[in-house]
Amino acid sequence: MTVHKADESVCAEETISARRKAFGKALEVLQDRRDEFGTQGFVPKDFIDLLKRTGMYRASVPAEFGGEPMPPAQFMDMVEEISRVDPATGWVASFGSSLVYFAALPVATQEKLYSRSVDIAYAGGLFPMQEAEKVDGGYLCTGVWQFASGCKGADILGIGLQGGPDTNGKPITALVDPADVEIVDNWDVAGMRATGSHAVRADRVFVPEDMTFVRGGDPRVDEPITRYPALAYAAQVLASVALGAARGALDYVYETGAVRTSITGGTSKGNRPTYKDGVARAEADLRSARAFFYEITNEVWDHAVRDVEITERHRALLRLAATQAAQVSRKVVLSAFDLAGTGAIYQSHPLQRFLQDCLVPAQHAMLQNNTYEAAGAVLLGAEAGIPSFP
């Protein structure tokens, strides 16, 4: 197995100003091509390469290996901006944060992974976890794993294996070259279609033990980015997609409300009491959820930078803020849909993109309503009652 096949010629721009320019260019291209991505059902490699130039795919690589870790709030703000244009592409871009998991790999493996490039696009199809055959030096992996978002543009893939006593029951992620497995085109959905979250099939693929890690396991590298809670961060980046989608929907609501007359020639929508009330409430709800989201993010990041203890309460608040962001964003998009009126029922309506995509984060296992109860339990000093929380 080769370690990965990232194109070392595609990397982040050298200066901050050049990266900002590359990010602006990526947004312009996305505006033009988002329908294409949705129709074909995946974000292509050439657009992933554009995002690499912005620095998003080295944003969670430890500085020790040449990475340039971003503060989580900065990274998620970029995900929001992408999602404001196209939430499904924002979802794929959000996995630029997922290399934080790699910090649990042996240090020698990390050095090898990053020796060619630190701009690596990773995608994981982790569930259902499969029981691999343990052999000398590693595992023989066979099975089918679902929901590998961004797999068609990834340099390296992860598949989920069942843990055991050595991992305290926590799942194992095995890293594989995309060339060694099959992408099963089974992503037939209404929302987040462009994420291309297809299944991955492997048939007795050998994975060396040093290319496996415990998901959410203790990092082997000590830096602020590896101290920040990895599982909470995984939930947060998906919630930031929802925040961007909700803002995109409100952008449309404001634009429509500014029109002077309605299609029937009557009072413009923006002059109707229900429209003005709905816009105000949606704006207040979204900003409130977003403020909580970034407040706790920055608080915990400050602890990570100063190497101060990050408690279970901190982790629970990160998870709570992520759930609140996803659930409130869902309500905001539904409010925008209500305000838009009958025209919004058409598949071609601009709001359909945000409506269909923004419903998905709130459905994700890490952001569903049951995580409110789990967060409340931890804040009260009780057991969360659900796996891998907080």
| CATH code of the domain covering residue 22 | 1.10.540.10
Has residue 220 been placed in a domain?
A: no
Number of H helices, E strands in the chain: 11, 8
Tell me how far apart the alpha carbons of residues 218 and 314 are, in angstroms, rounded to a whole number.
Answer: 17
Domain at 258, CATH number: 1.20.140.10
Q: For 26-71, what is each residue's pLDDT tens digit?
A: 999 999 999 999 999 999 999 999 999 999 999 999 999 999 999 9
Has residue 8 been placed in a domain?
A: no
Has residue 219 been placed in a domain?
A: no
State residue 259's pLDDT score. Answer: 64
Strands (E) across 241-389 are located at none
Has residue 42 been placed in a domain?
A: yes
Has residue 221 been placed in a domain?
A: no
Q: Are residues 57 and 164 both part of a single domain?
A: no
Amino acid in position 76: M
Q: Are residues 99 and 134 both part of a single domain?
A: no
Instruction: Looking at 86-163, list the stretches that DSSP marks H as alpha helix, in order from N- to C-terminal side.
Output: 87-94, 107-114
Looking at 96, 114, 132, the residue that finishes a domain is: 114
Please name the residue that has the structure tokens 């009958």: 342
Tell me how far apart the alpha carbons of residues 96 and 107 are, in angstroms, rounded to a whole number.
Answer: 20
Tell me how far apart the alpha carbons of residues 28 and 270 are, in angstroms, rounded to a whole number.
Answer: 28
What is the pTM assigned to this prediction?
0.95
Q: Which of helix, strand or coil describes residue 379?
A: helix
Cis peptide before 87 (omega within 30 of 0): no
Q: For 347-361, what is each residue's pLDDT tens digit?
A: 999 999 999 999 999
Q: How confident is the model at residue 167 (pLDDT cuts 50, 70, 90)?
A: confident
The residue range of the domain holding 53 is: 16-114
Has residue 104 been placed in a domain?
A: yes
Q: Are residues 240 and 375 both part of a single domain?
A: yes
Q: How many CA atoms lie within 13 A of 195 on its CB side?
A: 33
Q: Could you tell me which of 267, 240, 265 has the C-alpha nearest to residue 95? A: 240
Alpha carbon 211 to its chain's center: 23
- Which value, to the nearest 10 degrees, does the dihedral of the CA atoms of residues 193, 195, 196, 198 take? -100
Q: Are residues 296 and 369 both part of a single domain?
A: yes
Amino acid in position 336: A
Has residue 159 been placed in a domain?
A: yes
Q: Are residues 109 and 141 both part of a single domain?
A: no
Count of domains forming the chain: 3
| Tokens read off for 145 | 């794993």
Please name the residue that has the structure tokens 């089974």: 186
Q: Are residues 157 and 237 both part of a single domain?
A: no
Has residue 45 been placed in a domain?
A: yes
Domain at 203, CATH number: 2.40.110.10
Q: For 327-350, what is each residue's pLDDT tens digit?
A: 999 999 999 999 999 999 999 999
